[in-house]
Structures are given as structure tokens and as C-alpha cells.
Structure 1
Amino acid sequence: MKTALAASALLSALTLTACTTVQMDRGTYIADTSHRAKNADSRIRFLVMHYTEIDEAGSLEVLTGDQVSVHYVVPDAPRIERGEPVVYQLVPEDKRAWHAGLSSWQGATELNASSIGIENVNLGPIDGNIGESGHTRWQPYPPAQVDALIKLSRDIVTRYKIPPTRVVGHSDIAPQRKIDPGPVFPWHALYDAGVGAWPDDATVAAHLAGRDPKAPSDVRALQEKLKRYGYDVATDGVFDDKTRRVFSAFQMHFRPSDYAGNADAQSDAIAQALLDKYFAN
């Protein structure tokens, strides 16, 4: 019995030592990792959504080429293996992919270095008919694709603790040059599944306060709200083409029924409802 107890104690001591003192031989030096800093966080702070504009085969060819890359590709018709949808991972999560380009969100730039990118196989606008709200026909995102996207996104935001307001579209972080993932992207379905942000209807109605949703609103006030939420936008009250593109990007995300880019009462109410919900403090 004494021998067994002694052996058990020795094993426990060895286990404790192994847990508290880890040395890694890296060839030309040894790294001792027994001291761990508390003040550290993940490189990954944002999740960025895209569409590919081409089919699955073309998407994989381009995204494994020399110009651009992305962490994940979600097919429009994912195959099922062992009862689960299959998505493509092209870049390890701890590596930087070339998907965001010149971009900005909540004051952060160079988002390639701090984000995971997801490309969804989708053609985007499928005709050239541009009306009041831009392209009038967009490629839908099929239910099977949305299901796979939800499962992938929920896993990512959970593991990296990505806040709802940092789940964004390419058009959100680069509104002057990008319109993906477009106005039919399933933002609300993602929100219902615990991914990303969405305003509360009752709060929007309260801020609208009976106004006509299309009634003009103060440009500077809307600029300031969107700047606070995360958009890279001037706050000078000038309604120029750059500001219109930012307003349109915001509307494609949160009011896709009309993304003409006008400063209107409903957009102002949605922006304030988002600030109330996610930036109250």
C-alpha cells in the first residue's frame, strides 16, 4: 500500500511539474512557457462576410490563386457528410487572409490582420437594372447555404468571443468600393441564431415616433450615429457621394427593403436603436 501511495504521489508531482514548467526546444534556443501573462487576447476581433460573384469552382480557383484569399468558403449547395454540411477552409484561422483590403471598422484598419473572412458562393446582382435602391435582382442565399453559414459563424464568434457589432459585411468596412454581401444576405437569420447585431423593433418604433419612415433626417446626426457604431464616415453634414455610399451600406445591412442611401427618419431610428442596444454605456 505504501509503495502504491508513494508512486501515486510521485506521479502527481511529475504531472504538476509538467503542467507548470513547459520547455520547448526550437533548435537554436529553448522557450520556457511556465509563466503565462494575463493581459492577452485573440488576434481575431472581427468576422467579415462576402459573396464571391462567381460559381463554386471559379470561387475556389480564384481564392487559391495569387491575388486574394479567405479563411472559409460556404458553397451555395453544401454537400452533406455524416449529417453535417461541408464548408471549405482555405486559410488557417491563425493566418492572415487577403480578403478585406483597404478597410476600417470601429477605428481599426488593416482588418486582414484581425479578422476571419467568409466567402459565400453567390452571384450578387444578377442583372444590370439599377433602380431607386440599386440593383433590383440579387442572387438568393439558399436555405442549405444559410444553415451551413450559421453553424460556421456561430462556432467562430463563440470561440473568439466576437461581439455582435463586429460581425460585418465587406460593404460595411469598405463602403466606398464594395457592396457585398448585398441586401438579401441573411443578417436577421444570423442574428436569430446568435450571430451579429440587429435593432429591436420596439426601440426603432419609439425613435421613429410616428414620423414618415421616408421623411428626411439630419445628415450630420445620421453620420455621427453611424460613426459611433463603426462606419468610416465624415461627420460634416455634407450629403456627398461618399456619405451616400455609407448610408446605403448601412441600409443594405439593417434596412434592405430600401438602400438608396438617403438620410431618412427610419434609418436614423434604426441607427439610434442599435446604439441604445449595443453602446448604451
Structure 2
Amino acid sequence: MRALSRALRIGVISLTALLAACGSSGPFKFDDSYSAQGQNSRVRYLVLHYTAGDHATSLKVLTQRDVSAHYLVSDERRPTVYRLVPEERRAWHAGVGSWYGFTDLNTGSIGIEIVNMGRLPDGRWAPYTRSQIEALKVLIKDLAQRHGVTPRNIIGHSDAAPQRKLDPGPHFPWKELAQAGIGRWYNEAQARALQAQYATRPLPSAAQTQALLRKAGYDTPDSGVFDKATQNVIAAFQMHYRPARYDGLLDAETAAILQSLN
């Protein structure tokens, strides 16, 4: 959390410099003794990514190219949390996407990148380290509390852009974070009961599944068929809530989880 403390110090120094510049000899007098009641944070979402690169490459890409994130969590034994973009500014991390119909995610979110290689050439996925997950718990809790981000709006890049993104991937421990009070999870007892019921009744239709996915926040086609785009959304949902299998095909377990979201 050294990066957070450093950012706060920088903010105080910058404000102090502004106040000094606007003293009696400046073009205006600065007064912050009043505070408007009608305000809230611009941040509605926290979007998590993997970098698909090592530590040095991740830092270089996120600081020297036209892509950025507010925070980068390293993969060191004791992770460094880099604050690369001030929270009040817009980082370029989400791109084209949608969550609950909101499409300007860069403007309304904080982006958190995690140093992780993602999908490896042999098809396996790189694991996250225990120290990264513990650092993320502290960081995300702090951000969510300060900005009033609701659990359903703590998401992965693949949730907001299921047609083109896979990060943070199937190894990201969403359930563990939910158990720590971070993010949304489903009612597991209800899901088991519903899954058992599907042994004797049909699964939801394509139209019903698409409606449920939209209700869960996903940008889903309204085609009424299990087309490729819908399968991509189902796969993103599975990667978040049922990462053991994310083939994009609706089955009893996926349908039950989808209907049991808290």
C-alpha cells in the first residue's frame, strides 16, 4: 500500500502548491471552506485484468504506450502496488465494452492490472500468487469502500467485453474474494436445488438465458438462439462463476448458478 500513501502525499503537495500560487498576489483567491452536499464519486466499477506479460514488460506497456490502468499489482514475493494513473483521472484500460448497459467504462471505472502471463502457449493458464490475491483484497476493499462501488460492479474485463477478452481468466479466485466481502456471488444452496430440478425439466430457452444474462449485467444478444456471440457471453459468465468448465454451452449447473445470483 506504499503506492497509495505516496499518491495521497502527492495530492496534498499539489493542492498546497495551488493554494500558494493563488495567494494575495495571484489572479484569484482559492476557498475550499464550503463543500457541496450533492456529489458522489465518478467511479462506479472496478475492472480487473491480467497483463499477459512479465513485471518489466507490464510496467513498460502500461506507462509508455496508449494503454494504461490506475493500479498495477506486481508478482513479487511482497507485491508492489503501482499507482500509474490518479483515481480522479481516466485510464485507458477497458476499451469497448458494456456492463448493465453502461458503455463508457473507462470514464466510470478504476482499472486494476495484475502481472500474470494469462493463457500460455500450451493452453494452460498462469496461476496468480497467494501474495497477489492478499494484496488485491486490501486494495479492492479500500477502493470499493471509498467510492461506494457495489459488489455486482466489481468485474473482470471478460465480463464487460465477452466477445474479445478473457482476463482475468479462470484462475482468478472470484469465490475467495466474495467470501472476503468483495464482489458478487451466487446462492450455492439454491443453485444445487435448481440444478437437481433440471433433471426432470427443460433448461431455459435461448431467449430466457439471454434475458437472465442481461439481468446479470452482461451485454447479450437478443437473438433468441444460442449463437456464437451468446456462447461467448455464457463462457465469460462460466469463467467467473464456474471456472472448472467454460465451454459456452448452457448446462444445468450454469443455468442454476445464473438463476441464483445474489
TM over 0.5: yes
Deviation of residue 209 (structure 1)? 3.5
Report what 2:116 is aligned to. 122
Q: Is the 8 A contact 2:158 2:165 kept in 1?
A: yes
Q: Does 1:222 align with 2:209?
A: yes
1:35 positional shift:
5.0
TM-score, reference length from structure 1: 0.79
**1:271: Cα distance to partner?**
1.3
Give the deviation of 1:33 after TM superposition.
4.9
What is aligned with 2:80? 86
TM-score, normalising length: structure 2: 0.85
* Residue 230 of structure 2 corresponds to residue 247 of structure 1: no
- The match for 1:55 is 54
Aligned pairs for 1:161-172 (under 5 A) are: 161-172=148-159
The DSSP-based 3-state class of the residue aligned with 1:49 is strand
Q: In the alignment, which residue of structure 1 is the partner of 2:43?
A: 44
- Kept after mapping to 2: 8 A contact 1:171/1:179: yes
Which consecutive residues of structure 2, in runs of 5 or more, have no partner in the other structure? 1-20
Q: Rg bigger for which structure?
A: 1
The CA deviation at 1:166 is 0.1
Residue in structure 2 matched with residue 66 of structure 1 by the alignment? 65
SS of the equivalent of 1:88 reads strand
Deviations 1:164-183, CA, capped at 9 Å, x for gaps: 10000000001111011001
Per-residue CA distance 1:75-105 (angstroms, 9 max, x = gap): 12243xxxxx531111111111000001110
CA deviations over 1:182-203 (Å, ceiling 9, x no partner): 0111111111111101112111
Work out whether 1:105 is the aligned partner of 2:99.
Answer: yes
Conserved? CA contact 1:99–1:112, under 8 Å: yes
Letter matched to residue 259 of structure 1:
Y
Letter in 2 for 1:99: H
Query: 1:80-134: per-residue Cα shift (whole Å, max 9, x none)?
Result: xxxxx53111111111100000111011111000111111111111134xxxxxx
Residue-pair matches, total:
240
Look up the match of 2:90: 96
Q: Is the 8 A contact 1:203 1:273 kept in 2?
A: yes
Residue 187 of structure 2 is aligned to residue 200 of structure 1: yes
Match in the other structure for 1:4? none
Please report the RMSD computed on the Cα atoms of aligned residues, expressed in angstroms.
Answer: 2.1
Query: Where does structure 1 lack aligned partners over 5 or more consecutive residues?
Result: 1-23, 80-84, 129-134
Contact 1:217 1:264 in 2 (8 A): no
Show the counterpart of 1:8. none
* SS of the residue 1:273 aligns to: coil
Indicate the structure with greater strand content.
1
CA contact (8 A) 2:46 2:153 kept: yes
